[in-house]
């Protein structure tokens, strides 16, 4: 059923650093307003944690700011023409939220970029074997994955683990705060390692191996756009929204970005995306179930039959900004790195799997400038992201452009470095908050019953300015590749 032209929906992106909320006209995709509120991440020596209560307060603030903007313009609640009909949350993947019986967090959430669970990930890999994990989940355990974090909690905080009444992902926790229903979707669940992309269900044998009871987990909705409940009276009062509006299952941030771009069963397949944010990712929606160790073999938010193979790095825009700060330069004060190679693995690294790594600089000469060093940081970050592209199904097909998204897509040096190291045509989508826009499409699907991917494709946020390819800088590529190969041990791969 097509949504009414007067209907509007809210999409929420609860990311590592902040929450963004957009109010979107469901029939046209017109963005009516947006709001934003920050998060705080704490921790050192591999620890990265956040208070889930802060996520909720940021969600309330971001939605409130967006609604205030709409109402000031004559929208919902002020006699305007739009009415809010649904809401969905897309959240940072992999985070471990442990709750008591009342749904209250027992401790701060362990985030995706918390690397303390590297030994537990290695143990899990050894217990089932690489091929065993790939056959069941499409992924190999790394420190980011939620199963490794649960093992870490059991081993390091057994009293907390024994008190747990519910295990949630970040977006699950917020969805439950909205409607009181413990629910998740196949996309985000596929990043836990206890969901099987082969059977499209929780895997009982994996749960036993991991040491997790099925009763602690939320129910699986068919897709991220499924309606799982109505907005509760308490949440409606806090948000200033009508009680009972549709709450979608929601999904992980990468899956929502794919929806926002119109990628999936009802949209584009095998079109690669490079996302440059706190993390760097490459992914594509495909009908081929991935089982390659270099990638995370996620499911898409569509549900059974569509997959989202993805390569993810821990160090991207924030790492390069840190290098710029150390050099006393602005982020655009960069030029190609010359002979210098800088691998900016400041927080360890996930792809390649080097959780103990630190940054590495080599090839320094008297003539090397600060601008070249900053350019080398860009090259190291972009190389690491693009290296995963070759493992994507259809990812290296000649002539298929890279869709470049995330905060880095708005930076001249990021765009030019991707073009120079990839040698590929590039599309800069017109949608700038694709995770929130994808969540809005999921909300529209839950409210109106339509296909969120088809709806988002009609909205057209995946289309944008096309840039022709430039010759690939083979010299820079080979120089960085040789350094990574020769210094893997020095980087701290253990």
Q: What backbone phi and psi angles, to 5 degrees, belong to 295?
A: -120, 160
The token pair at 22 is 């957009």
Tracing tokens 């088809």 back to the chain, one arrives at 454
3-state SS class at 118: helix
Report which of 429, 430, 420 is spatially closest to residue 469, judged by C-alpha positions: 420
- Cα–Cα distance measured from residue 324 to residue 394, given in angstroms and rounded to the nearest whole number: 35
Cis status, amide bond into 352, omega within 30 of 0? yes
Question: ∠170-174-178 over CA atoms, to 5°?
Answer: 165
Residues 307 and 54: their CA atoms lie apart, in Å, by: 31
Q: Which of 418, 423, 431 has the alpha carbon at shortest distance from 463?
A: 431
Residues in the chain: 494
Where residue 357 falls (left for φ over 0; alpha for ψ -120 to 50; beta otherwise) is beta
Q: Given phi > 0 = left and psi -120 to 50 = alpha, else beta, which region is 104?
A: beta
253 a catalytic residue: yes
Q: Among 253, 302, 353, 473, which one carries the catalytic annotation? A: 253
Transcribe 130-168 into DSSP letters: HHHHHHHHS----TTSHHHHHHHHHHH-HHHHHH-SEEE
Are 377 and 331 within 8 A, CB to CB? no
Q: Which residues are catalytic?
A: 253
């Amino acid at each position: 059923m097509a949504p009414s032209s007067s209907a509007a929906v809210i999409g929420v992106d609860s990311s590592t650093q902040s929450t963004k909320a957009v109010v979107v006209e469901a029939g046209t995709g017109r963005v009516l307003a947006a709001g934003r509120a920050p998060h705080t991440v704490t921790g050192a020596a591999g620890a990265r944690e956040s208070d889930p209560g802060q996520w909720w307060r940021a969600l309330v603030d971001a939605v409130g700011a967006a609604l205030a903007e709409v109402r000031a313009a004559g929208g919902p609640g002020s006699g305007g023409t739009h009415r809010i009909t649904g809401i969905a949350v897309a959240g940072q993947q992999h985070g471990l939220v442990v709750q008591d019986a009342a749904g209250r967090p027992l401790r701060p959430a362990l985030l995706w970029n918390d690397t303390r669970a590297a030994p537990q990930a290695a143990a899990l890999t050894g217990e089932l074997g690489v091929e065993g994990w790939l056959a069941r989940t499409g992924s190999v355990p790394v420190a980011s994955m939620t199963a490794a974090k649960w093992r870490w909690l059991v081993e390091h905080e057994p009293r907390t683990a024994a008190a747990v009444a519910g295990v949630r992902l970040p977006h699950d926790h917020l969805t439950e705060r909205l409607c009181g229903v413990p629910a998740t979707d196949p996309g985000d669940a596929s990043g836990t390692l206890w969901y099987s992309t082969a059977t499209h269900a929780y895997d009982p044998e994996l749960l036993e191996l991991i040491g997790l009871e099925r009763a602690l987990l939320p129910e699986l909705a068919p897709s991220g756009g499924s309606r799982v409940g109505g907005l509760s009276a308490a949440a409606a009062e806090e948000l200033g929204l009508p009680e009972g509006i549709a709450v979608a299952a929601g999904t992980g941030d990468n899956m929502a970005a794919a929806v926002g771009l119109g990628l999936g069963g009802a949209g584009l397949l095998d079109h690669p995306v490079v996302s440059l944010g706190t993390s760097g990712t490459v992914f594509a929606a495909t009908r081929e179930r991935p089982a390659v160790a270099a990638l995370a073999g996620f499911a898409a938010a569509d549900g059974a039959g569509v997959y989202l193979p993805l390569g993810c790095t821990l160090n991207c825009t924030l790492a390069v900004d840190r290098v710029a700060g150390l050099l006393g330069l602005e982020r655009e004060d960069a030029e190609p790195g010359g002979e210098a190679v800088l691998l900016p693995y400041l927080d360890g690294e996930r792809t390649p799997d080097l959780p103990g790594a630190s940054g590495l600089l080599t090839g320094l000469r008297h003539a090397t400038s600060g601008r070249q060093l900053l350019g080398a940081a860009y090259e190291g970050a972009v190389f690491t992201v693009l290296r995963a592209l070759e493992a994507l199904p259809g990812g290296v097909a000649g002539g298929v452009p890279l869709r470049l998204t995330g905060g880095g897509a708005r930076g001249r040096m990021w765009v030019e470095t991707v073009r120079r190291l990839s040698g590929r045509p590039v599309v800069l989508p017109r949608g700038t908050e694709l995770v929130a826009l994808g969540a809005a499409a999921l909300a529209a699907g839950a409210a109106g019953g339509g296909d969120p991917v088809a709806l988002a494709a009609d909205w057209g946020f995946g289309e944008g300015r096309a840039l022709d390819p430039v010759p690939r800088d083979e010299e820079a590529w080979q120089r960085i590749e040789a350094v990574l190969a020769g210094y893997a041990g020095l980087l701290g791969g253990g």
